[in-house]
Amino acid sequence: MSNDHGASDPRTEWQNQPTEDFRMSRALLDRYVSASHRRLRLLSAVQYFGMVSALVVSVVLAVRSDGGLLRLGAVMMAFLFAFVLTMLYRTSGRRDVATQAALPSIESYRADLERHRKLFTGFRLWSRPLIALPVAIVVSIGLARANPALARNIYLDLVAIVVGICLTCVIAYRKGRQYQQEIEELDALRR
């Protein structure tokens, strides 16, 4: 970009500065971190609540079901949800929740981002559908055997479940990449 100003002119220096050197003000960064940290804590609470609820429902289904294959599918489902709860617990780390809620900092927000990134990448991402697909198949076959009149609809539901699991994996993988990008941007802002 050419201009008519001298090399020491402030307008020239301003126009020639690299765009990646933009720095957020400390107040703006703190507000962003606080709002994002609240969102991540809410997501964690929803994940725990959802997994505990699903675990309870699958245990009740295992106890109350009549068919052997349906009961086996419900037990497998209970193990799946227990496995996901274990992953959530192991990635949470040891932290003082009261301190984090009172004083959200960039470091605690980054730690939460890292924890969520771990849940949506690698082993923790791909292990869930590898376990969920056989569970869905066994439960659907058990339901179809228990209700032969509804077998066609149950198998169509199974196809929808398999497609849903695959789409969920793709979305989770993208979310993991988004968390990684946000971690890198946060690290760049802190430099």
- % of the chain residues with pLDDT over 70: 77
Q: What is the pLDDT of residue 93?
A: 59
77-85 contacts at long range (C-beta below 8 A, 24 or more positions apart): 77/135, 77/139, 79/131, 80/128, 80/131, 80/132, 80/135, 81/51, 81/54, 81/55, 82/55, 83/127, 83/128, 83/131, 84/51, 84/128, 85/48, 85/51, 85/52, 85/55
Task: Look at residue 188 in the predicted model and tell me its pLDDT.
Answer: 80
What integer pLDDT is reported at residue 166 of this predicted model? 92
- Which residues of the chain fall short of a pLDDT of 50? 1-2, 98-103
Residue 4 confidence (pLDDT): 53
What residue ranges do the domains of the chain occupy? 24-190
